[in-house]
C-alpha cells in the first residue's frame, strides 16, 4: 500500500518522523514491504519545518494521485497561507481512486477548507474555529487525539500521528500487525512472531483479533460496542464469547491491555505518571493511579524507583 505525505511550510518534524517510523516497523513486523512512503511538498520545492530545516519533496507535480491508498497533509501554524490550485484536484482524484484523505496537526484545517470533512467526525486544532467559522459548523468535531471516519483521518498534534496511522493499518491491513507495530514502537524493536506478546492466550481467532483491535487503540480507547461492530458481532455476542474463551469481559480484557502498556512504561521509561496515564488511555492521572494500584498492589511510581518488576516477567494481561 502506498502512502503520500504532503508537507506544508512550518510542518512539525515529529509528524514526519512518526509516519516514517510506523511504516518502517510495520514493514519489519510483516517481513515484507507492505507500505511505501512518498513525500511531496506543497510547492514542489523544499519546504522548512517549524525550526527552519528544509525538507525536499520526491515529486515536483500533482500527477499520480490514483496510485495512493492514504494521502496525508502535514502543515504548520498558517495552514491556509498558500494553497496551490492543483491541490484540491489532486485530492479529488485520490479520493475517487479509493484513497483515505488525512490531515496531521493543522493539515486537517486544509481538508476542512477544501470541503473534504463535511459531515465527518474530525479532529481539528482550536485555530480552525477562527479560520473557518462557517465551514466548521458542518463538521462533527471530536475531542479525541484522532478520528478515522469514512476514508478521512484527522489528528491532533504530537504523538497522535502514530496512533492514527496504526488505526489506519489495523483497518486496511491487519489489526494484529498494527498491534505488533504499536508494541514495537514502545520496545524500540519488532517482536518476534509478528504479534503483541502481551495479549492473553486464546485458541479463538476472533478473540485474538479483538485484542489486536484493542491493542491498536490503547491511547484513545474505543467503546466495546464499536469493537463488537468491527468484529461483526453484537455486544452481547462478544461478551459471551469472551467469557467463554478468556473468562473475562471485553472491558476487562481492554483494561488488561492498557495496564500492560502502563506497566511497561512505568518500569522501562522515565515518563511521568501523567504522561503514562495518557499513553495508556486513562482520563486522568488519578484514575490511572487507582487502576494501577488495584492491579499491581503499588502506586505507579514505586516500581520505577525500586527497579522491581512483577514476578517471573509474567505479562500483566494474562494475570486475573
pLDDT tens sequence across 132-148: 777 777 888 777 788 88
Residue 307 has pLDDT above 50, yes or no: no
pLDDT, residue 265, reads 78
Q: Which of 191-200, 205-214, 292-301 has the lowest mean pLDDT?
A: 191-200
* Residue 317 binned pLDDT confidence (cut-offs 50, 70, 90): very low
User: Distance of alpha carbon 193 from its chain centroid, rounded?
Assistant: 22
Higher pLDDT, 257 or 141: 257
Contacts for 315 with CB less than 8 Å, ≥ 6 apart:
197, 198, 260
pLDDT, residue 50, reads 85
Question: For 298-314, what is the mean pLDDT?
Answer: 50
Return the SS3 of 56: coil
* Residue 237 binned pLDDT confidence (cut-offs 50, 70, 90): very high
- Residue 174 CA to residue 188 CA, distance in Å, equals 20
pLDDT tens sequence across 64-95: 778 899 999 998 888 888 788 888 999 999 99
Amino acid at each position: 500500500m502506498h502512502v503520500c505525505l504532503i508537507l506544508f511550510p512550518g510542518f512539525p518534524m515529529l509528524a514526519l518522523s512518526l509516519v516514517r517510523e510506523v511504516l518502517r516497523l510495520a514493514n519489519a513486523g510483516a517481513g515484507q514491504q507492505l507500505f511505501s512512503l512518498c513525500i511531496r511538498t506543497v510547492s514542489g520545492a523544499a519546504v522548512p519545518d517549524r525550526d527552519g530545516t528544509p525538507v525536499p519533496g520526491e515529486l515536483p507535480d500533482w500527477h499520480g494521485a490514483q496510485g495512493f491508498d492514504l494521502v496525508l497533509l502535514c502543515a504548520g501554524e498558517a495552514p491556509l497561507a498558500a494553497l496551490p490550485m492543483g491541490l484540491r484536484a489532486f485530492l479529488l482524484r485520490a479520493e475517487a481512486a479509493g484513497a483515505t484523505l488525512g490531515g496531521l496537526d493543522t493539515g486537517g484545517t486544509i481538508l476542512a477548507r477544501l470541503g473534504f470533512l463535511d459531515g465527518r467526525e474530525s479532529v481539528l486544532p482550536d485555530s480552525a474555529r477562527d479560520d473557518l467559522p462557517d465551514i466548521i459548523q458542518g463538521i462533527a468535531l471530536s475531542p479525541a487525539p484522532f478520528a478515522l471516519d469514512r476514508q478521512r483521518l484527522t489528528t491532533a498534534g504530537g504523538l497522535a500521528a502514530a496512533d492514527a496511522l496504526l488505526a489506519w493499518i489495523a483497518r486496511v491491513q491487519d489489526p494484529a500487525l498494527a498491534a505488533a507495530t504499536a508494541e514495537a514502537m514502545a520496545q524500540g524493536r519488532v517482536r518476534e512472531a509478528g504479534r503483541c506478546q502481551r495479549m492473553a492466550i486464546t485458541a479463538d481467532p476472533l478473540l485474538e483479533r479483538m485484542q489486536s483491535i484493542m491493542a491498536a487503540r490503547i491511547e484513545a480507547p474505543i467503546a466495546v460496542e464499536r469493537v463488537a461492530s468491527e468484529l461483526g458481532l453484537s455486544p452481547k455476542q462478544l461478551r459471551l464469547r469472551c467469557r467463554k474463551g478468556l473468562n473475562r469481559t471485553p472491558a476487562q480484557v481492554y483494561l488488561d491491555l492498557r495496564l500492560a502498556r502502563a506497566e511497561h512504561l512505568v518500569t522501562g521509561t522515565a515518563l511521568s505518571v501523567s504522561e503514562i496515564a495518557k499513553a495508556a488511555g486513562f482520563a486522568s492521572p488519578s484514575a490511572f493511579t487507582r487502576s494501577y494500584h488495584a492491579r499491581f498492589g503499588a502506586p505507579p511510581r514505586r516500581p520505577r524507583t525500586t527497579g522491581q518488576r512483577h514476578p517471573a516477567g509474567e505479562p500483566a494481561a494474562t494475570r486475573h
